[in-house]
């Protein structure tokens, strides 16, 4: 749980940095490419290819390509189709995808996970619903593409980790994750990128370096490790914890407008969903078989 909380705080700052310094100013494909390239460089020195078999390496690369490479492309494009509040609103469905996909991959059905995920969606919706414009459907579908990629990557990582030795030093193999993402980001920039819209200021370069090394490099490693240490219900709920955290950061640092009453109510609903999930897990653990 500590991993997920720490990364939530890290990503809360990152969300604001993208919106303030990059969105609409720096080519999105270049931003994705640079972030993933820097994250790859963080883990390349630790990579030990012999620790995984060929099929396992390919699986980890596929997860990186999906969760990071394809997801980023969808996510950055969504800002060209929707307002920031709409993008944030439409990301609230990720917990439902997490709950359903985790049950599907692990061959079970857990109704309580779906209930707590729905509560997390309601809480995030209370915070972020500002109304939607007509003609938003394409943007909605693009954001759902990002949500599905992120959810599939997390659940797939949980499944892969469950099949590998518990003692595996993940920092020595996680480089494959970023290499897979890089195999999506490079052709995407070459085919679709705009080389005339590169960063023009030291601030923009600094933001991209921070996002690549910290938010992407450290962030995705820690988030995926955290995903293997909690149940699917907690993971689903934590996917929406970024919304109140991001709004608090925006409010305190950039003084962006936010309705504090809705922020508090939505956060309480999400906290309640976490408590309900924890209560249910404790009850199941102590119940007779």
In this predicted model, what pLDDT tens digit does every residue of 2-39 receive, in sequence order?
A: 899 999 988 888 877 887 888 789 998 999 999 999 99
Q: How far apart are CA 139 and CA 88, in angstroms?
A: 12
Q: How far apart are CA 194 and CA 100, in angstroms?
A: 37
Low-confidence winner among 63-67, 75-79, 95-99 (lowest mean pLDDT): 75-79
Q: How far apart are CA 98 and CA 105, in angstroms?
A: 10
Q: How far apart are CA 92 and CA 107, in angstroms?
A: 25
Q: What is the pLDDT of residue 55?
A: 95
Q: 255: pLDDT confidence band, cut at 50, 70 and 90?
A: low
Q: How many angstroms from the chain centroid is the CA of residue 243? A: 12
Asked if the model's pLDDT at residue 135 lies above 60, the reply is: no
Asked if the model's pLDDT at residue 51 lies above 90, the reply is: yes
The better pLDDT of the pair 87, 102 is held by 102
Q: What is the pLDDT of residue 115?
A: 84
Q: Summarize pLDDT for 106-116 with one digit per residue, the tens.
A: 787 888 878 88
């Amino acid at each position: 749980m500590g991993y997920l909380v720490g990364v939530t705080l890290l990503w809360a700052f990152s969300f604001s940095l993208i919106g303030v310094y990059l969105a609409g100013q720096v080519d999105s494909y270049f931003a994705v490419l640079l972030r993933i390239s820097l994250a790859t460089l963080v883990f390349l020195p630790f990579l030990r290819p012999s620790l995984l078999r060929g099929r396992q390496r390919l699986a980890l690369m596929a997860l990186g390509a999906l969760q990071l490479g394809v997801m980023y492309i969808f996510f950055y494009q969504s800002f060209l189709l929707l307002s920031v509040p709409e993008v944030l609103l439409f990301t609230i469905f990720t917990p439902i995808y997490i709950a359903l996909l985790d049950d599907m991959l692990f061959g079970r059905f857990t109704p309580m996970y779906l209930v707590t995920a729905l509560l997390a969606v309601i809480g995030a919706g209370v915070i972020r619903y500002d109304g939607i414009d007509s003609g938003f459907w394409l943007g909605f579908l693009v954001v759902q593409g990002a949500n599905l990629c992120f959810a599939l990557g997390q659940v797939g990582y949980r499944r892969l980790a469950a099949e590998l030795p518990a003692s595996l030093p993940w920092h020595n193999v996680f480089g494959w994750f970023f290499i897979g993402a890089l195999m999506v980001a490079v052709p995407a920039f070459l085919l679709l990128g705009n080389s005339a819209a590169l960063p023009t200021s030291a601030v923009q370069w600094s933001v991209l370096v921070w996002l690549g090394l910290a938010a992407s490099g450290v962030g995705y490693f820690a988030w995926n490790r955290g995903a293997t240490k909690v149940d699917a219900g907690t993971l689903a709920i934590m996917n929406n914890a970024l919304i109140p955290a991001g709004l608090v950061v925006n409010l305190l640092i950039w003084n962006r407008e936010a309705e504090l009453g809705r922020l508090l109510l939505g956060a309480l609903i999400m906290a309640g969903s976490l408590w309900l999930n924890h209560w249910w897990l404790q009850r199941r653990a102590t119940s007779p078989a």
